[in-house]
Structure 1
Amino acid sequence: MNQTIDTATARRMAEAGTIRGVSIIGQPGGWSVMLKTGMLEKPLGGQKTDKPRTWRSLDTLTEYLRKDLSIVRIDGVDATHHSSADVHRPGRPDAAARMKRAHEAAAHDAWFRAQVDAGIKEADDPATQWISNEDAEASMEKLLTRLEAEGKGRGTN
């Protein structure tokens, strides 16, 4: 028999109106939720385990209850055993690195989009002077010839 109620079941129970009460219980490292159904009271469990789910922040927990489970009434908060010590969670350096990469990618994406927008704006500007492909190639050929001559003058090939 499950010791906890998973999120999907809790969502269905909330929609059916079978949850009779909700309490938030403080514990070392965070907060958990107790759901009352009839004469039974069970903790809200994690997704992949039959262990009570915990939240570090009371604000995050209440937001989760409101948005994900449509629970807006909480019978009580028991902070007797709550402490902010993070005793249950191991460190996640992989998550920090993943978030850093995600932020870097988002920043690069924003920069890239700004560059594209600026290019489109410049291309659409009637005052923009266009250079033909032939003129661009001729200009590049002159530049390469000049750089080769300068390189030979310094004794390099």
Structure 2
Amino acid sequence: MAAETIDHGMLAELAEAGAVRAAHVVGQPGGWSLRVKYGAAERMLAAQRSRQVRIFRRMETLVSYLKDLGIERFDVDAADYEAEGGKSRPDRAEAMRRAHEAAAHDKWFRAQVEDAMSEADDPNTKWVSHEVVKQGMARQRAKLLARINGDDA
């Protein structure tokens, strides 16, 4: 059975209201999770996007998170903690690399479009008609076909 969870927003509201009775940091392979008690309920903190139990890779990050919420006292159960055991996320590293590449390409592309628009608006730009371009391309094509066919013209 999946653990019942609580999200950050609800935990922040409970902490602000002073309704959090206890916070338990629980070690597990790959990091630390957080179990909070409030009223008669006990819930695990959920990750924002996945809604799965949130795993903090570093204890320092979790301590800062709790202190920011105003929770300064908590207990730690490190019995099942394993630093190297958790899920690695090479997929996230690859996704971030692709996102950075896409952002860089987008920046380059927008600069190219801006340059082209500036050139098009410049009154000194010399324009070539479509017919002249078509004739030039036809000449190039004829030369390439001649080379392919062995007719060194």
Measured against the shorter chain, the TM-score band is 0.5 to 0.7
**1:133 CA displacement:** 1.2
Alignment of 1:66-81 (within 5 A): 71-76=68-73, 81=78
Judge conservation of contact 1:32–1:44 (CA < 8 Å) in 2: yes
Which amino acid in 1 is paired with 2:128?
Answer: I
d(CA) in 2 for partners of 1:22, 1:135: 80
Alignment of 1:1-157 (within 5 A): 5-7=5-7, 9-14=10-15, 17-20=17-20, 23=23, 25=25, 27-28=27-28, 29-37=30-38, 42=42, 44-46=44-46, 48=51, 53-58=54-59, 60-61=61-62, 71-76=68-73, 81=78, 85-87=83-85, 89-152=86-149, 154-155=150-151
Q: Which runs of 5+ in 1 are unaligned?
A: none
Count of equivalent residues:
145
Judge conservation of contact 2:24–2:36 (CA < 8 Å) in 1: no
**1:108 CA displacement:** 3.0
d(CA) in 2 for partners of 1:44, 1:112: 45
From the superposition, tell whether residues 3 and 135 of structure 1 become closer, same or farther in structure 2 (CA, over 3 Å).
closer
**1:55 CA displacement:** 0.9
d(CA) in 2 for partners of 1:54, 1:64: 12
From the superposition, tell whether residues 43 and 56 of structure 1 become closer, same or farther in structure 2 (CA, over 3 Å).
farther
Which amino acid in 1 is paired with 2:134?
Answer: E
Aligned CA-pair RMSD: 4.1
With normalisation by structure 1, the TM-score equals 0.59
SS at match of 1:76: coil
SS at match of 1:25: strand
**1:98 CA displacement:** 3.7
Cα deviation digits, residues 83-120 of structure 1 (max 9, x gap): 67132x33344444444443443333333223222222
Which amino acid in 2 is paired with 1:133?
Answer: H
With normalisation by structure 2, the TM-score equals 0.60
From the superposition, tell whether residues 10 and 129 of structure 1 become closer, same or farther in structure 2 (CA, over 3 Å).
same
Percent identity of equivalent pairs: 34
